[in-house]
C-alpha cells in the first residue's frame, strides 16, 4: 500500500470513524512504517512482532532529536518540519511531514469533537507565517484567520488584545499557550484591568510553564481566567498535544479526564513492566496516533497519568514531584525542548 492509499484510508476514518477499525488500521500503519522507515524498523526489530495495538513498539520522544536518524516513513523532502521548543543550544526534536492532510483533518475534527467552537477568534501565539516550525501555530492557522494571532515579533500585543476583547459583544474563543495567558493576566493585573467576556466565550490553553521558572497550580491558573476574563473553569479547556503528535487530547474545567478522538489512543503503562495499568492506576502515557502516518504512530511520552477507562487524568511531568538527588539529575541539566 502506498502512502497516499493509506493516507486516504485514514482520512476517511478520521472523518467517519468505524467502530472496531482502530486496531486493524494501527497495525497496518505500523507495518507501513516499519517497511518505509529504516531507523524505526531497526528499533522495532528489538521487539516481538505485535499482534495487537498495545504491542506496537513506541519510540521515546528523544528519538525525534536524533540527527542522522530521521523518523521519516516517506521518501523525498518533507513539506513541513515542526520543531520542539528549546533553549539556545538545546537539541530540538524534529517531526517531518510529507503531507499535512492528516494533521489538518485530525486537528479540525479533534477540535470539533471536543465541542469547541469552529472558529478561533484570538490566538495567543505567533502566526504560522511567523513561526513556520511550530506545529501549534500551524494547527491554530487552520482554526483562525491571520489577524487573530496576537504574538507578533515575539511580543504579545497586550493593549490591542485588551481593547479588542473589551469591545466584544458576542462569545469569543481564545486559543493560546498557558504561558501567554499567564503573561496576559499579569499585564492586566499590573494595569488593574479585569475583563468580562460575553457569556458562552471559551478559552483553550495548552502547554505548561516548562523552562519559564514558573510554578502555578492549575486551580490557581484557572482562577485567573475567572478573575481577568470572567470565564468559569468549565469555560476553559486544556489541549494536550505535542510536536511529535498529529492528534490532540482535550479536557474541560478542573479534575476531568482528557479524551482523544477515535483515531488516537492513549495507554497508561506501568514503566516497570510496560503493561497497561488497571483502571485508576498511575503510569506513563504511550500514545498511538494514526494521523502520524509520515513518522511513527506509537510514541512513549514522559508524562504521567492516571488511567480512567479509555481516557486519562494527566499528572504531567511535574519537576517538583521528581526525586531530587544530591546528585544532579539529567532532567535539571539537559534542557529538553517540548512542544509549545
Tell me the DSSP string of 230-276: ---GGGEEEEE--TT-S--EEEESSS--BB--TTEEEEEE-TTT-SB
Q: How far is the CB of 88 from other proteins (least distance, A)?
A: 14
- Residue 239 near residue 207, CB atoms below 8 Å: no
Q: How far is the CB of 311 from other proteins (least distance, A)?
A: 19
Binding pattern for the stretch 252-291 against other proteins, x by CB under 8 A and - elsewhere: ------------------xxx-x-------xxx-------
CB-based contacts of 26: which residues, under 8 Å, 6+ apart? 53, 56, 265, 288, 290, 297
Stretch that binds other proteins, among 74-82, 172-180, 239-247, 318-326 (CB under 8 A): 318-326
Binding pattern for the stretch 60-99 against other proteins, x by CB under 8 A and - elsewhere: xxxx--x--x------------------------------
Stretch that binds other proteins, among 123-131, 154-162, 221-229, 330-338 (CB under 8 A): 330-338
CB-based contacts of 237: which residues, under 8 Å, 6+ apart? 114, 116, 202, 203, 204, 205, 250, 251, 252
From 16, 19, 20, 46, residue interacting with other proteins (rule: CB under 8 A): 46
* Buried b / exposed e along 310-323 (16+ C-beta atoms within 10 A): ebbbbeebeeeeee
Strands (DSSP E) found in 86-208: 94-97, 122-124, 151-152, 155-156, 173-177, 202-206
Binding of residue 145 to other proteins (CB under 8 A)? no
**Among residue numbers 15 through 44, which ones bind other proteins (CB under 8 A)?**
38-39, 42-43
CB-based contacts of 113: which residues, under 8 Å, 6+ apart? 261
Binding of residue 322 to other proteins (CB under 8 A)? yes
C-alpha cell of 119?
A: 472558529
C-alpha cell of 249?
A: 487530547
Site size with other proteins, rule: CB under 8 A: 39
From 1, 79, 112, 329, residue interacting with other proteins (rule: CB under 8 A): 329
Q: How far is the CB of 66 from other proteins (least distance, A)?
A: 7
Q: How far is the CB of 315 from other proteins (least distance, A)?
A: 9
* Buried b / exposed e along 104-113 (16+ C-beta atoms within 10 A): bbbbbbbbee
Binding of residue 325 to other proteins (CB under 8 A)? yes
Binding of residue 59 to other proteins (CB under 8 A)? yes
Q: How far is the CB of 71 from other proteins (least distance, A)?
A: 9
Q: Which residues bind other proteins (CB under 8 A)?
A: 38-39, 42-43, 45-46, 58-63, 66, 69, 270-272, 274, 282-284, 300, 302, 304, 317, 321-334
Amino acid at each position: 500500500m502506498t502512502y497516499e492509499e493509506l493516507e486516504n484510508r485514514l482520512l476517511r476514518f478520521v472523518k467517519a470513524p468505524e467502530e472496531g477499525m482502530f486496531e486493524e488500521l494501527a497495525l497496518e500503519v505500523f507495518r507501513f512504517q516499519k517497511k518505509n522507515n529504516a531507523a524505526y524498523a531497526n528499533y522495532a526489530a528489538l521487539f516481538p512482532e505485535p499482534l495487537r495495538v498495545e504491542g506496537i513498539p513506541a519510540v521515546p520522544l528523544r528519538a525525534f532529536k536524533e540527527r542522522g536518524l530521521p523518523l521519516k516513513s516517506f521518501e523525498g523532502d518533507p513539506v513541513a518540519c515542526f520543531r520542539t521548543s528549546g533553549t539556545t543550544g538545546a537539541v530540538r526534536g524534529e517531526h517531518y511531514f510529507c503531507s499535512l492532510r492528516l494533521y489538518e483533518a485530525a486537528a479540525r475534527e479533534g477540535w470539533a469533537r471536543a465541542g469547541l467552537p469552529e472558529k478561533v477568534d484570538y490566538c495567543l501565539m505567533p502566526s504560522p507565517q511567523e513561526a513556520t516550525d511550530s506545529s501549534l501555530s500551524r494547527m491554530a492557522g487552520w482554526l483562525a484567520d491571520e489577524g487573530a494571532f496576537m504574538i507578533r515579533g515575539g511580543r504579545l500585543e497586550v493593549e490591542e488584545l485588551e481593547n479588542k476583547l473589551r469591545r466584544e459583544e458576542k462569545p469569543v474563543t481564545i486559543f493560546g499557550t498557558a504561558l501567554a495567558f499567564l503573561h496576559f493576566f499579569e499585564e492586566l493585573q499590573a494595569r488593574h484591568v479585569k475583563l468580562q467576556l460575553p457569556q458562552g466565550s471559551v478559552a483553550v490553553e495548552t502547554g505548561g510553564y516548562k523552562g519559564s521558572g514558573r510554578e502555578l497550580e492549575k486551580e490557581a491558573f484557572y482562577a485567573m481566567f475567572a478573575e481577568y476574563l470572567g470565564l468559569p473553569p468549565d469555560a476553559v479547556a486544556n489541549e494536550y498535544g505535542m510536536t511529535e503528535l498529529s492528534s490532540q487530547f482535550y479536557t474541560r474545567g478542573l479534575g476531568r479526564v482528557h479524551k482523544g478522538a477515535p483515531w488516537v489512543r492513549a495507554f497508561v503503562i506501568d514503566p516497570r513492566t510496560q503493561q497497561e495499568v488497571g483502571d485508576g492506576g498511575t503510569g506513563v502515557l504511550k500514545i498511538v496516533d494514526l494521523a502520524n502516518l509520515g513518522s511513527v504512530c506509537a510514541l512513549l511520552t514522559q508524562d504521567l497519568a492516571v488511567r480512567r477507562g479509555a481516557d486519562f487524568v494527566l499528572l504531567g511531568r511535574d519537576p517538583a514531584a521528581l526525586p531530587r538527588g544530591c546528585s544532579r539529575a539529567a532532567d535539571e541539566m539537559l534542557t529538553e525542548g517540548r512542544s509549545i
